[in-house]
Amino acid sequence: MRTGARVAPWRPASGARIPSADVTGAPWLASLLVVVVAAVVRVFLAFNGFVTHNGPSGRQESRLNFSSDRLNWISETVTVLFNPE
């Protein structure tokens, strides 16, 4: 390399490019974000009665019947998220 030549500080003197990591973020991170947002939206809709199914009487009912029992609440939320109909 001749004296006084300008070289980008992030490149070696030979001018070769240094391989770098994906600066836009890992694709799996974007996929995970989509899954989390979809789950949050689904639970929100279930809370507001938008996710329904036919109940024992044949009429439309909300799929979530939240009770004061926390374990039951968690169980019902998981059922809605992982058993779509």
**DSSP assignment string, 30-67:** HHHHHHHHHHHHHHHHHHTT-SEEE-TTSSEEES----
| 75 vs 50, higher pLDDT | 75
Average pLDDT of the residues in 66-84: 65
- Say if pTM beats, i.e. exceeds, 0.85: no
| Domain range annotation of the chain | 44-51+59-85
Q: What is the pLDDT of residue 33?
A: 85
Q: What is the pLDDT of residue 54?
A: 62
14-63 pLDDT tens trace: 655 655 555 556 777 778 888 888 888 877 777 666 656 566 666 656 55
Show Cβ contacts of residue 62 under 8 Å, excluding neighbours closer than 6 positions: 46, 49, 51, 52
pLDDT reading at 69 higher than 70: no
